[in-house]
A and B are shown apart, each in its own frame.
Chain A
Amino acid sequence: MRTFNLFKVAFRSLMRNKLRSFLIMLGIIIGVASVIAMLAIGEGSNQNIKASIASLGTNSIMVYPGNNMSGGVSQGAASNKTLRIEDVDAIKANCDLVNFVSPVDQKRAQVIYGSQNWNTTILGVTNDYLAIRSLTIAQGSTFTVNEDRTAAKVCLVGLTVVLNLFGDENYNPIGETIRINSIPVKIIGVLTKMGQNTFGQDQDDIIIAPFSTVQKRMMSSSMYINSILASGKSEGQVVDAVDEISILLREKHKIAPSDDNDFTVRTQSEISTVFGTISKVMTILLASIAGISLLVGGIGIMNIMLVSVTERTHEIGIRMAIGAKGKDILTQFMIESIVISFVGGIFGIVLGIVASQLVAKFGGWPVVITISSVLLSFLFSSAIGLFFGWYPARKAAALNPIDALRYE
């Protein structure tokens, strides 16, 4: 049979069974769309997590009190009090591979300006912290070493704090005095806008004050510090810097060689690996949901094919009686399936992309559509469509014409 005729026959057959063609297509459309959307959501959060982790500074090293190797992220750090400001000074003085180092004290506090009040996070750090986290000042200036040493009542504020205390993000608050836990503190700078991180935290909802100010005036204990943030001189030296810090702190804390550390040192890349794993698990989870919907779509296709197989077998019988060869029948069915899968696949891709964008727009969730997810779902659903179109046809084409005509 001429190729052109095969296409003609296949198209006529598709048009003759519009509802059936549409239902099969629907299975493929939903399958492809859900795989693309799910993988886009998974990949989006994956990349977003990576980006947020990277924003901590690629060379950064975190030191937490206590020893908690499980899970990779320090838990219950506040209950372990082992780190002191002397540790920070020692690292600064002795560790050659460490570039910047800053103590970090963190607490929630009530902030008042006039009749406005706002609950926010107060960070007590040195200027090194700003360098490590690549934080910059939009207006005003950061605190001086002298201000740090003297526990001066000065601070830097994030834009969210400005908005909530002064009613306008664009208000220039430099020189205003606010009260943090009833201590009057003067605003000397405004931080550049950072936006939300992956976990939905508003990074602009923050006040940064000199470490000594927070330690001496706002924390209940002035002996210990929450954590230390440091950075390696270069990315390649981060691991060695970690060793340097560990050896130094063991020495300073007088830990016997047989004992475990009373602190935990983590690098940014370790943390990003942990979150990478979490997000991979999530992607797999989403992919399996998508896979299930693809399978359900496939079963739908199979059902429709099975129901129509009587009718189709009879049609095959008629075609064979008037001279169709087995391969003509098979090619016709293959073309039908390919057309359905292809058109369904295209619609599925479009729907998947639209759905992803809707999730991104209304759910505020990051999505990234990868070529591989498009290809994967397209190929997989096409394979399902092809198989369920081809398999019953192959069976029917192998029958005697008279058996196909009589099939019930």
Chain B
Amino acid sequence: MKNPENLITVKNLVKTYKTGTTEVPALSDVSLTIDKGEFLAIMGASGSGKSTFMNILGCLDNPTAGTYTMEGIDVLGRSRDELAELRNRKLGFVFQSFNILPRTSALENVELPLLYNNTISPKDYGDKALDALKSVGLGDRVNAMPNELSGGQQQRVAIARSLVNDPIVIMADEPTGNLDSRTSYEIMQIFQKLNDAGITIVMVTHEPDIAQFAKTNIVFKDGKIIANEAVKERKNATEELKLIAQLSEEKSTT
């Protein structure tokens, strides 16, 4: 029996990296179900297999063994081209190192996934990209080059890019890893807004306070999930930001 709310189901995932003669086990027997509308934070020590897991979920890498279904359809049996299409239409990616194209304007970066999507008419490219940039609060920097943007702004461009094809899941590997806490909260504010709009979010993070913005936290250790629990006192990014603003105001007035 499949739960209709199940978006992603992985069973007994194993990933072993081979480097020369040595084999590095990165994932051993990972099973997990992610529901539609979930906001999942993946925690764990460095080297515990979080990124490996994310990359497999994002169809960027193949597991050594195991099964993976998305919306009830087997993912692992699909061809490279089908997976590319899946990533384009259903997934959005946000990386720790932003991974936006250098010397390419914010708008053109955001437009990129549209170019690989045949279902969208070229005359809509500009509008869609602009909408996505506006939704992350960069409506006034559309023509800026990456080197003219702060880290937080670059990450927003990346988020806008991940949004532009109306994905069902956003996969974010340490999206706030290179940002200060205030900027991180702003990113979390965007994520919570997207999540409220129905987009499932899977996010890797090292920082426990960032994980508090998610709905569910899982913890990896040595390639296994050792904890999976709902967040008890979930934080709201908008309120946290207000708090920070108040604090800094008080500081500057005293």
Contact with B along A6-44 (1 / 0, CB 8 A): 001100100011000000000000000000000000000
Q: If the complex has contacts A325-B81, A402-B55, A402-B61, are A1 and B104 also in contact, measured as CB distance less than 8 A?
A: no
Contacts A4-B122, A328-B116 given; does A323 touch B88 at CB 8 Å: yes
Among A218-226, A291-299, A313-321, the one that faces the other chain is A313-321
Complex contact A2–B122 (CB within 8 A): yes
> Chain B residues near A328 (CB, 8 Å)?
116
Would A325 and B118 be within 8 Å (CB), given that A318-B99, A319-B112 are in contact? no
Known contacts A12-B108, A400-B61, A401-B60; A324 and B116 CB within 8 A of each other = yes
**Complex Cα distance A315/B161, Å?**
15
Contact A9 B115 (CB under 8 A): yes
Beyond A325-B80, A325-B84, A400-B60, is A2–B118 a contact (Cβ under 8 Å)?
Answer: yes
Q: Does B134 have its Cβ within 8 Å of any Cβ on chain A?
A: no
Interface string of B191-209 (1 = CB under 8 A from A): 0000000000000000000
- B156 CB within 8 Å of chain A: no
In the complex, how many residues of chain B place their beta carbon closer than 8 angstroms to a beta carbon of chain A? 30
The CA of A403 and the CA of B60, in the complex, are separated in Å by 9
Contacts of B60 in A (CB 8 A): 320-321, 400-402, 405
Is B87 engaged at the interface, CB distance under 8 Å to the other chain?
A: yes
Residue of B nearest to A404 (CB): B60
Asked whether any CB of chain B lies closer than 8 Å to the CB of A256, the reply is: no
Q: Are B85 and A323 in contact (CB under 8 A)?
A: yes
Number of interface residues of A (CB under 8 A): 28
A408 shortest CB reach to chain B, Å: 12
Are B61 and A8 interface neighbours, CB within 8 A?
no
Closest chain-B Cβ to A295's Cβ sits at a distance in Å of 31
- Nearest residue in B to A403 (C-beta to C-beta)? B61
B185 sits at the interface (CB 8 A) = no
Do residues B81 and A326 form an inter-chain contact, with CB atoms below 8 A? yes
Q: Which residue of A lies closest to B95 (CB)?
A: A405
Neighbouring B residues of A5 by C-beta, 8 Å: 115-116, 122
Contact surface of A with B, Cβ cutoff 8 Å: 1-2, 4-5, 8-9, 12, 16-17, 314-315, 317-328, 400-403, 405
In the A-B complex, list the 4 residue pairs whose CB atoms are closest, starting with the nearest: A323-B88, A402-B60, A323-B116, A5-B115
Residue positions of B touching A, CB distance < 8 A: 55, 58, 60-62, 80-81, 84-85, 87-89, 93, 95, 99-104, 108, 112-113, 115-118, 122, 161, 165
21 CB-based A-B contacts, threshold 8 Å: A1-B118, A2-B115, A2-B118, A5-B115, A8-B115, A317-B99, A319-B112, A320-B87, A321-B87, A322-B87, A322-B93, A322-B112, A323-B85, A323-B89, A323-B117, A325-B116, A327-B81, A328-B116, A400-B60, A401-B61, A401-B87
